[in-house]
Amino acid sequence: MSRFTAWDSGEARAVLRPHGGAPDAVLPMLQALQARFGFVHAEAVALVAEAVNLSRAEVHGTISFYHDFRSSPPAGRVIRLCAAEACQAVGGAALLAAARVLADGGDVVVEAVYCLGNCALGPAALVDGALVGHLDAERLAALVQGCAVAAVQVPR
C-alpha cells in the first residue's frame, strides 16, 4: 500500500491553499504536492501557476531545475543517501554502492544527495522523508527490505 494519496485535483487545490498566492510560494507548493502525492502531477503545473499568477512555463522551469521533483510516483520506498564529503569519510560511498546493489530490481529507489545537514551522525540517509544517522550495512539492508525506520534508528 502506498504512503501517498492518489492524484486528485481538488485535493491538490486544498494542499496549495495554505501557501497563499505570492510567487515565492512556488517551491513550498511543489514540495507540499510531492509530499502528498509522491510526485508533481502534470496537472499541478497549471494549478500552481494559477495560484501564484505565473506562467506554466515558469512553474515547469522550477520543477525541471530542482532534481528532487518527480513527474511520476516513485516505485516504492525512497532512500536518499548522503554523498557529501563528511558522510563519504565514514563509509557513505560504500553504503551507496551497496544500497544500489540491494535495491536493484526491487521497489526501492536509491538516490545520492549532497548533504542532509546531519554530518555529525554520518553516514546519513533520508528514508521516506525520515532522517537516519550512523547508518551501517546491516541497518541499510533492513531499510531496503522494508523495515520500519524507527526499528533501525540508533538510540541516542
Strands 108-113 and 77-82: parallel
CA distances from 72 to 4, 7, 44, 55, 101 (A): 12, 11, 12, 22, 23
pLDDT of the residue at 70: 87
**In the sheet that 130-132 helps form, which strands lie side by side, from edge to edge?**
108-113, 77-82, 125-127, 130-132
HEC per residue, the chain: CCCCCCCCHHHHHHHHHHHCCCHHHHHHHHHHHHHHHCCCCHHHHHHHHHHHCCCHHHHHHHHHHCCCCCCCCCCCEEEEEECCHHHHCCCHHHHHHHHHHHHCCCCEEEEEECCCCCHHHCCCEEECCEEECCCCHHHHHHHHCCCCHHHHCCCC
Backbone angles phi, psi at 134, to 5 degrees: 50, 45
pLDDT of the residue at 148: 83
Report the mean per-residue pLDDT for the chain: 90
Highest mean pLDDT among 18-32, 67-81, 115-129: 18-32
Distance (Å, rounded) from C-alpha 93 to C-alpha 85? 9
Q: Is the pLDDT of residue 84 over 80?
A: yes
- Read off the pLDDT of residues 25-63 as tens digits, 9 standing for 90 and up: 999 999 999 989 989 999 999 999 999 999 999 999 999
Domains present along the chain, CATH in parentheses: 9-65 (no CATH), 77-152 (3.40.30.10)
pLDDT of the residue at 1: 44
pTM: 0.72
